Amino acid sequence: MEREQKRLEQFRLLRKEIRGSQQYLVVGIDISKDTHNALMRTVSGKILYRRLTFNNTREGFETLLLQVEAVQVQHGLKEVVFGMEPTANYHKPLGEFLINQNHQVVLISPEAAKQNRPLLDGRWNKHDGKDCANIADLMCQGKCLYYEYPSPELRDLRNLLSLNRKLKKLEQGLRLRIRNHLVAQYFPELDQYCHWGANEGLALVRWCLDPAVMAALSDEELIKRLGTPGRTIAQRKRLSALKDKAPSSIGCQFGDSVEFEGQSVVKLLKEVRQAMEDAQEQIQGVCQKFKEYSYLLSIPGFGPTLSAMVLGAIGNPWRFQNGAQVLKMVGLDLSASQSGKSQGVPIVSKKGKAEIRYALYQAATVASSRDKHFVAYFTDQLRGREKEKGIKTKKRVKLAAKMLMIAWTLMKKHERFDPKYLSAQTQPIAAHTTVKTRSGGIPEVQPAPRVVYRANMKAVFLRLPTKRTST
Mean pLDDT by runs of 10 across the 471 residues of the chain is: 87 92 94 95 94 95 96 95 94 95 95 93 91 96 93 94 96 93 91 76 87 85 72 78 88 91 94 96 96 95 95 93 93 89 87 94 95 94 90 94 96 93 57 40 42 41 43 39
**Residue 309 resides in a domain:** yes
Q: Which of 284, 315, 333 is the last residue of a domain?
A: 284
224 lies in some domain:
yes
Q: Are residues 127 and 14 part of one domain?
A: yes
27 and 170 both lie in a single domain: no
Do the strands 24-30 and 79-84 form a parallel or antiparallel pair, or are they unpaired? parallel
- CATH classification of the domain holding 259: 1.10.287.4070
Query: Could you say which of 231, 251, 284 is where a domain stops?
Result: 284
pLDDT tens-digit readout, 17-54: 999 889 999 999 999 999 999 999 999 999 999 999 99
The string of pLDDT tens digits covering residues 196-210 is 667 888 888 888 889
Supply the pLDDT for residue 445.
Answer: 42
Specify the pLDDT at position 229: 60
Same-domain pairing of 112 and 179: no
Residue 467 lies in a domain: no
pLDDT at residue 167 in the model: 97
Shared domain check, 379 and 324: yes
Secondary structure of the chain as H, E, C letters: CHHHHHHHHHHHHHHHHCCCCCCEEEEEEECCCCEEEEEEEECCCCEEEEEEEEECCHHHHHHHHHHHHHHHHHHCCCEEEEEECCCCCCCHHHHHHHHHCCCEEEECCHHHHHHHHHHHHCCCCCCHHHHHHHHHHHHHCCCCEECCCCCHHHHHHHHHHHHHHHHHHHHHHHHHHHHHHHHHHHCHHHHHCCCCCCHHHHHHHHHHCCHHHHHHCCHHHHHHHHCCCCCCHHHHHHHHHHHHHHHHCCCCCCCHHHHHHHHHHHHHHHHHHHHHHHHHHHHHHHHCCCCHHHHHHCCCCCCHHHHHHHHHHHCCHHHCCCHHHHHHHHCCCEECCCECCECCCCEECCCCCHHHHHHHHHHHHHHHHHCHHHHHHHHHHHCCCCCCCCHHHHHHHHHHHHHHHHHHHHHHHCCCCCCHHHHCCCCCCCCCCCCCECCCCCECCCCCCCCCCCCCHHHHHHCCCCCCCCC
Strand partners, 52: 38
Residue where a domain stops, chosen among 112, 132, 149: 149
The pTM (predicted TM-score) of the whole model is: 0.82
The total domain count for the chain is: 3
Please check whether residues 336 and 442 belong to one and the same domain.
yes
Q: Are 28 and 134 in contact (CB under 8 A)?
A: yes
Distances (CA, A) of 256 to 87, 112, 211, 291: 44, 53, 14, 55
Residue 208 confidence (pLDDT):
87
- 340: in domain: yes
The Cα 356–Cα 261 span in angstroms is 35
Query: Which of 445, 441, 466, 455 has the alpha carbon at shortest distance from 361?
Result: 455
Question: 170 and 44 in one domain?
Answer: no
Measured from the Cβ of residue 291, the count of other Cβ atoms closer than 10 Å reads 9
Is residue 470 included in any domain, yes or no? no
List the CATH number of the domain containing 92: 3.30.420.140
Are 278 and 176 contained in the same domain?
Answer: yes
What is the domain extent for residue 256? 155-284
Same domain, 47 and 140: yes
Residues 110 and 229 in one domain: no
Same domain as 244, residue 357: no
Q: For residues 25 and 87, state if they share a domain.
A: yes
In a domain, 471, yes or no: no
Which pLDDT value is given to residue 459?
43
Asked whether residue 67 is domain-assigned, the answer is: yes
Q: Tell me, yes or no, whether 125 lies in a domain.
A: yes
| Angle formed at CA 91 by CA 88 and CA 96, multiple of 5 degrees | 135
344 and 407 inside one domain: yes
Residue 311 CA neighbour count, 13 Å, CB half: 32
